[in-house]
Amino acid sequence: MSSSDLRRARARMLSTVLDCRGSLMGVTDGVSSAPARTVAVDAVLDSLSASQLADLRRANRTSTLAGRPHFRCPACHEPVYPAVGSVAASGVLGGERAYFKHHAKQTGTPDCPLARERSTSVDAVDAHRFGGLQEGAWHAWAKQSLGELCVAEPGVGAVFEETRLSRSEAWRQPDLIVQHQLGTVALEIQRASPQLDVVLGREGFYAPLGIGLMWIVDAEEPHRLERQGFQDAILPHGGVVHGWSPMAARRSVTDRRLHLHRLTLAERDDHFLVDDELVPFSDAVAEVMKQLARNSWPLAEDASARAFRMALLSGDQDAQQAAFERLRAELRLAATWDDACDDRLSAAVGATVTALTGAKGIASRFPANAPAVAIINNFVGTKSYRAWIPLLLQACEGHADADARLAHPSTARLISEALSEAATDLTHAVQVRQRWGTLFQRMFLAARRNT
Ligand SMILES: [Zn+2]
């Protein structure tokens, strides 16, 4: 037994978890979802690459915050999450260094074996290790030098230092906000590995504001990108992150153009490679804005669109008709509410909302916390909805989260079956597109174009 096997055996005190993701293969009746299965932790984690592990951690955290955790403790049924040992200590990059753990504040029942486990997460170690003076000095230098260079940079309109941004109840104070002609970006100078919640919180805050999130890491310490928080932040986005260094600062001053490091973290067998190149700031902004477009909030948020969505969720037919009439007048649609009822427009909009956001889009038999895949499969697997599939796919195209949902094996199979038989109701599909293409454009695609 190697030392990493030993470490793993000790870390995985509990060898099984409840997997609540649900297989849902072939679900078409709309209500059944596979019950949670007890699965071997080794089977869930061992085969994951570093990138897949980051995706798993992210998906689990998001679903847990939404009240439907992917994994639960088999003993006490409290949510658990995939925690990790460090890459350096375990000598492996992917899922073999992970194990399941209770959240610190939810320790389960007293007799729960997982709750007694007291290993320190690698994230907490990082935060502690780099919380000192050195961190503060580098951070201050990076913010000041980047701020000065941004102000002098062609294409930059305005630079704000530590300005407080508010959205709904939440607020953030990024190190720098830079208004560039290619888009507005928030620079978050981050030398220590961030916590997953910080990563998700920042992404979720800036995206609906149409602001690109640009992490600035210490390019002289690329090995730090191996830390889990950086993996969580950058692997799901193609492994690319931007960095700063005294060398880049000198080069930027000499060239009178701001240059950043573009660092790419990639898995190679049993180690990470970090590719490092200097790129003009405008290229970095362009890259971040492109990423934002792929992940931006996909629903129109004006009063008319919102009223229609709220009416769908309430199940109130009169409210649906009223909201529909308002959209119909705005868009000068020929099709009437009777046409909408015949074509089952409400169900189609609801299912598209679910594909794009993962949440319920319309009042239905599904419980509030139903998995998105069950709702989507119910729609794409029902014959009378087939004519809508092309519009649904168009609304979701290029949106990272929606692409991932539609790529679920059971969903992809139902869609491909439906499309291969679409010839039989081609007339209906053409009619649906003619009647409702504009409305779909307005409810979904317009939201992403405008951000
Ligand atoms: Zn437990």
Cα–ligand 1 centroid distance for 33 (angstroms): 23
Q: Do 34 and 83 belong to one domain?
A: yes
Q: Do 235 and 339 belong to one domain?
A: no
- Whether 356 contacts 401, CB under 8 Å: yes
Cα–ligand 1 centroid distance for 58 (angstroms): 21
Cα–ligand 1 centroid distance for 45 (angstroms): 18
DSSP state of 302: S
Domain boundary among 295, 320, 350: 295
Does residue 125 lie in a domain region? no
Cα–ligand 1 centroid distance for 102 (angstroms): 7
Domain boundary among 234, 267, 295: 295
DSSP state of 95: G
Q: Do 114 and 175 belong to one domain?
A: no
Residue 12 CA to residue 9 CA, distance in Å, equals: 5
Residue 299 CA to residue 96 CA, distance in Å, equals: 38
Cα–ligand 1 centroid distance for 5 (angstroms): 24
Q: Do 272 and 320 belong to one domain?
A: no
SS3 of residue 144 by DSSP: helix
Per-residue pLDDT of the chain (451 residues; tens, 9 = 90+): 455 554 554 467 678 888 887 534 333 333 334 567 888 999 999 999 999 999 899 888 877 776 778 888 888 888 889 998 888 888 889 999 899 888 765 555 566 766 655 444 444 444 444 444 466 889 999 999 999 999 999 999 999 988 888 877 788 899 999 999 999 999 999 999 999 989 988 988 888 788 999 999 999 999 999 999 999 999 988 899 999 999 999 999 999 999 999 999 999 888 899 999 999 999 999 999 988 877 777 888 788 998 999 999 999 999 999 999 999 999 999 999 999 999 999 999 999 999 998 888 999 988 877 889 999 999 999 998 999 999 999 999 878 788 888 988 899 999 998 888 755 677 888 899 999 999 999 999 776 654 4
Cα–ligand 1 centroid distance for 77 (angstroms): 6
Q: For the chain, give me the number of helices (H) and strands (E)?
A: 20, 14
Cα–ligand 1 centroid distance for 204 (angstroms): 29
Does residue 124 lie in a domain region? no
Cα–ligand 1 centroid distance for 82 (angstroms): 14
- Total of domains in the chain: 3
Q: Do 76 and 146 belong to one domain?
A: no
How many other β-carbons are positioned within 10 Å of the β-carbon of residue 426? 10
Cα separation values, 312 from 125, 272, 351, 360, 362, Å: 47, 47, 11, 10, 5
- Whether 378 contacts 28, CB under 8 Å: yes
- Whether 27 contacts 380, CB under 8 Å: no
Q: Do 156 and 211 belong to one domain?
A: yes
pTM of the model: 0.69
Cα–ligand 1 centroid distance for 113 (angstroms): 6
Contacts of 141 (CB under 8 A, 6+ apart): none
Residue 83 CA to residue 121 CA, distance in Å, equals: 7
Q: Do 313 and 446 belong to one domain?
A: yes
Q: Do 60 and 139 belong to one domain?
A: no
Instruction: At 128, list the tokens.
Output: 């502690």
Q: Do 93 and 144 belong to one domain?
A: no
Domain boundary among 59, 86, 119: 119
Helix axes 345-357, 426-440, angle to 10 degrees: 60
Structural domain of 438: 303-450
Q: Do 282 and 338 belong to one domain?
A: no
Q: Do 137 and 281 belong to one domain?
A: yes
Cα–ligand 1 centroid distance for 259 (angstroms): 49
Residue 262 CA to residue 276 CA, distance in Å, equals: 6
